[in-house]
Amino acid sequence: MTLLSVNVNKIAVLRNSRGGAVPDVVQAARTCLDAGAHGITVHPRPDARHIRADDVRALSTLARERDVEFNLEGNPFATPRAGYPGFIALCREVRPAQATLVPDGDGQLTSDHGFDFVRDGDALRPLVAELKALGCRVSLFADAHADAGDCSIARAADCGADRVELYTGPYAKAHGTGGSEAMLARFAGAARRAQAAGLAVNAGHDLDQANLGAFLAAVPNVLEVSIGHALVSEALYAGLEATVQAYRRIVDGVPRG
Ligand SMILES: CC(=O)[C@@H](O)[C@H](O)COP(=O)(O)O
Ligand SMILES: NCC(=O)COP(=O)(O)O
């Protein structure tokens, strides 16, 4: 079974564009949960361009009230600054059910790569251990490399992680082109290598209603997808409740009518 975690970053983008409190990020998250989302994801960034520390606290409270998973994503190596206490500090404070570590540069437009587990392993290991001691499940953002070479995804297990989140941007880009089948085979291989190393598999980035079904059909045992940009965009046309319900039908494997 694949769980749907809705990323509400983009609700905060809209709110911040006017500097007020509308739209309400917590109300949007509540609507998603009421519509069937299994959890909520946010990825606060050091420049606080969308989700802010206070949003993290409020959404964490909502997730606890609703007994659903709160997935906090971010770069554990980003420098804290005014308004951004740092990813690990936020995890210490709110203890998310899942902490997903992502190797983004501070000014990056969006996430576009996973960890290099050979290079980053020694730095990740103590952070993963601390997060697990806090009670968080730990997932590491990972590329689906074409082969099982030195940067093999299986090395995420040596860092102590519970899961990897496959960075699905390259698949989304290839979807609908001639390269889609090869890309799906690449992701299925990466998932199998991770699972063989004892890691469970999540996936996310640029997944949408058009590409999600084929991904889940081809890649074995994806436990969770986190989806934000496309879902919030599609909700502009169809409404948030109906859009979340449409994603639920896809992750639940309900054939499209
Ligand atoms: C790790 C990942 O793929 C998402 O968290 C994505 O980066 C969302 O971040 P933005 O909403 O800032 O693009
Ligand atoms: N981890 C991926 C995520 O939370 C949402 O990514 P996107 O759907 O906004 O690209």
Around ligand 2, the residues with Cβ closer than 6 Å are: 7, 41, 43, 73, 165, 204-207, 226-230
Active site (catalytic) residues: 43, 73, 205
Residue 198's pLDDT is 97
Task: Determine the residue of 41, 208, 227 to mutate for testing ligand 2's pocket, defined as the one with the most ligand atoms within 8 A of the Cβ atom.
Answer: 227
3-state secondary structure (DSSP) of residue 85 = coil
257 domain-assigned: no
Alpha helices in the chain (DSSP H): 9-16, 25-34, 53-66, 87-94, 117-133, 169-174, 180-196, 212-218, 229-238, 240-251
The whole domain housing 153 covers 3-251
pLDDT tens column, 42-81: 999 999 999 999 999 999 999 999 999 999 999 999 999 9
Overall average pLDDT of the 197-225 stretch: 98
Respond yes or no on whether ipTM tops 0.90: yes
Ligand 1, atom 6, lies closest to the CA of: 111
Task: Determine the residue of 6, 8, 43 to mutate for testing ligand 1's pocket, defined as the one with the most ligand atoms within 8 A of the Cβ atom.
Answer: 43
3-state secondary structure (DSSP) of residue 42 = strand
Specify the number of domains making up the chain. Answer: 1
pLDDT tens column, 136-178: 999 999 999 877 665 689 899 999 999 999 999 999 999 989 8
Other C-beta atoms closer than 10 Å to the C-beta of 255 total: 6
85 domain-assigned: yes
117 domain-assigned: yes
Residue 106's pLDDT is 84
113 domain-assigned: yes
CATH number at residue 83: 3.20.20.70
Largest CA distance in the chain: 50
Q: In this structure, are residues 56 and 43 in contact, taking their beta carbons and an 8 Å threshold?
A: no
How does the average pLDDT of the chain come out, rounded? 95
CA dihedral 30, 33, 38, 42 (to 10 degrees): -30
Residue 75's pLDDT is 97
pTM, two decimal places: 0.97
Residue 231's pLDDT is 98
Other C-beta atoms closer than 10 Å to the C-beta of 168 total: 26
Around ligand 1, the residues with Cβ closer than 6 Å are: 7, 9, 43, 45, 73, 102, 110-111, 141, 204-205, 228
256 domain-assigned: no
